[in-house]
Amino acid sequence: MPAPQDPSPQEPAPRDPGYPGPRPEQVTELARLKAFTNPLRMRLYRLLHAAGAATASQLAEQVDEAPSLVSYHLRKLAEHDFVAEAPERARDGRERWWRVAHEGGFGFRDSEFTGTPEGAATTRAVMTALAETRFEQYRHYLAQAPAWGAEWSDAAASSEWVLDLTADELAEMGSDFEALAARWRERSKAAAGSGDGREREHVSLHLYSFPFRP
């Protein structure tokens, strides 16, 4: 299986007025952010964003969990407006389809939550869950890389740079990368919608930028 797209965690809000496509919804309420302290919910959100829409049973097969448990977590995400029902996909009244509520995903700023011990603990828990699930996603790709063939394995990228930046420059660079990824997202959507007939797969782009002292 190709890795599911991960459009969700963009901590700094894009500042470029020319930012293409839908912007990430900024989460500012602690109760909403706490919904993602459960790693399974993050996995479900990613899979749902990649699929466009899915039922609990379809998602349950991908995460190897009971449909009833997946339904429970989808309802919890819906309570916090991260996912919503997609009744237009249902073929009969027994089917319950879900989609992400905001096409641009979501983001949050640490500084809006770290003023209290609970807020700081929540952001750390969410960021840790994000890092763990991202790494698991990449490790899954590495294990299956030979099956993708030379074209896809050669196209996949893994890079690291060490830069000397100010905090403002780091934030600006992050916004530049987000806008670049968003432009490629809109370009791929337009090409797929035009029916160009080219082979496309979900591609997961993970970018980390953070200060450190050797």
* Structure confidence at residue 17 (pLDDT): 58
Q: What is the pLDDT along the chain (214 residues), one digit of tens a residue?
A: 223 333 344 444 445 556 777 888 999 999 999 999 998 999 999 999 989 999 999 999 999 999 999 999 999 999 999 999 998 888 877 789 999 999 889 999 999 999 999 999 999 999 998 898 899 889 999 999 999 999 999 999 999 999 999 999 999 999 999 999 989 989 988 988 888 888 899 999 998 899 999 8
Smallest CA-to-CA distance from 53 within 5, 98, 2, 3 is with 98
Q: What is the DSSP string of 158-169?
A: ---------HHH
Smallest CA-to-CA distance from 81 within 43, 25, 122 is with 25
> Tokens standing for 82?
């991260």
**Contact present, 141 and 3 (Cβ < 8 Å):** yes
